[in-house]
Structure 1
Amino acid sequence: MRFSDPVSTVIPGLHGRVLGVLARTDRALTGRAVAGLLHTPGSASGVQKVLDDLVKSGVVTAEPAGRARLYTLNREHVAYSAIDQLARLREILLDRIRAEVKTWQLPAQAVWLFGSSARSDGGVDSDLDLLIVRPDHVNDSDPRWLEQLDTLAAHASTWAGNSCEVVEYSAHEIRDLVERGERLATELRRDAIPITGTTPHRTLTRKAG
């Protein structure tokens, strides 16, 4: 999956990136504004050609606004639901991970997405990074716990198409990271996205624990 441009996972090139921009907003945008919102830059002429193509197909509508034209995704088009699903691939992936974690025999204290996949700046070769906070009463060598981690990593990798890297800390180890002022704690507090359990902000403060 391209975490920065999920639509491009299935619709490669500038067409997918332009559709991704339009799918993320209800506002009408000029071609210049669309080009400015691309995660990976595209030429103004290239963006305009893509918009013209999408208008011809009816997927995008265009309205005059002075000397410019304003573009919006046509949400009545039969293709809209598919485009919307593609734009929400990361959210759909997190929903699947959340659903699996809720079935665990040994519940995690928290599961967070972090790294480039959380910052939405990762490409198809980027890892899907998950941080699991293990409750202190669960032994890190418990076969049931280890099986849960391995199964989640395998499933998440299959769902996303990216290699899934699971990083595990006990709740006590997380508190130690915070107390020592480790860089990882700062990065997690800034970038991590909660999937289930306690949030990064609540967990990664000196008041936690």
Structure 2
Amino acid sequence: MHFPEPMSSVVPGLHGRVLAVLVRAGQPLTGRAVAGLLPTPASPSGVHRVLDDLVRNGVVIATPAGRARLYTLNREHVAYQAIEQLARLRDLLIERIKAEAESWEIPANAVWLFGSTARGQGDADSDLDLLVVRPDDVDDGDPRWLDQLDTLSAHASLWSGNACEVVEYSAQEVRDLVRHGERLVTELRLDAVPIAGSSPRQTLNRKAG
């Protein structure tokens, strides 16, 4: 999955990127405004050509506004729901990971997304990085615990198309990282996306433990 513009994973090229902007906007935009909202720059002329094509296919509605045109997605088009779902691929992935983690026989103290994918910068070649905090009373060699980690990693890879790397720490190891001021802790405080269990704010509190 291309995390900055997940729709382009299924609708490659500028068409998918323009559609994603229109879904997120939820309001009429000029072609220049659409171009300005693209995470990866594209020429206004190229954006206008794509918008004209989408208008011809009825997916987008163009409304005159003085010398400009305002573009909105056609919510009555049969493709609208599919477009909206594609624009939410990252959110849907996180929801799936959350549902699996919360179904574990041995609950984790926390599961977070971190690294480039958490920052929305990862592409199809980037790892999907998950940090899992193991309860202190669970042995790191418990077969049931290890099976949960392996299954989540395999599923997340299938769901996203990205290799999934699971980094695991016990709750005590996390407290030690916080106490020693490790760089990873700073990165997690800035970028980690909570998925299940305690949030980074709760877990990485300097006074914890």
- Superposed pair shares fold, TM > 0.5: yes
Aligned mates of 2:169, 2:70 — CA distance in 1:
49
SS in 1 for 2:174: helix
Task: Identify which range, 21-30 or 151-160, moves more after superposition.
Answer: 21-30
Task: Identify which range, 64-73 or 195-204, moves more after superposition.
Answer: 64-73
Q: Deviations over 1:137-161 (max 9, x none)?
A: 1111111111111111001101111
Q: Deviations over 1:67-114 (max 9, x none)?
A: 211111111111000001101111111111111112211110010111
Task: Identify which range, 57-66 or 162-171, moves more after superposition.
Answer: 57-66
**Residues 208 and 27 of structure 1: is their aligned pair in 2 closer, same or farther, counting only changes over 3 Å?**
farther
Give the structure-1-normalised TM-score.
0.97
SS in 2 for 1:51: helix
Paired residue type of 2:95: D
Paired residue type of 1:105: E
Paired residue type of 1:145: W
1:127 is displaced (CA, Å) by: 0.9
**Residue 105 (structure 1) aligns with:** 105
Aligned mates of 1:92, 1:160 — CA distance in 2:
10
Percent identity between matched residues is 71
**Residue 187 (structure 1) aligns with:** 187
**Residue 65 (structure 1) aligns with:** 65
Aligned mates of 1:180, 1:126 — CA distance in 2:
29
Task: Identify which range, 157-166 or 56-65, moves more after superposition.
Answer: 56-65
Give the alignment's Cα RMSD to 1 decimal: 1.0
Gap regions ≥5 residues in structure 2? none
Q: Deviations over 1:1-40 (max 9, x none)?
A: 1111111110000001111111112121111111111111
Q: Deviations over 1:42-82 (max 9, x none)?
A: 11111110011011111111112222111111111110000
Aligned mates of 2:205, 2:33 — CA distance in 1:
39
Aligned mates of 2:75, 2:7 — CA distance in 1:
16
Figure out how many residues of one structure are paired with residues of the other and give that number. 209
Gap regions ≥5 residues in structure 1? none
**Residue 162 (structure 2) aligns with:** 162
Aligned mates of 2:35, 2:152 — CA distance in 1:
37
Aligned mates of 2:162, 2:98 — CA distance in 1:
17
Task: Identify which range, 46-55 or 21-30, moves more after superposition.
Answer: 21-30
**Residue 146 (structure 2) aligns with:** 146
1:207 is displaced (CA, Å) by: 2.3
SS in 1 for 2:118: helix
Q: Deviations over 1:183-207 (max 9, x none)?
A: 1111111111111100011111212
Aligned mates of 1:163, 1:179 — CA distance in 2:
31
1:87 matches 2:109: no
SS in 1 for 2:167: strand
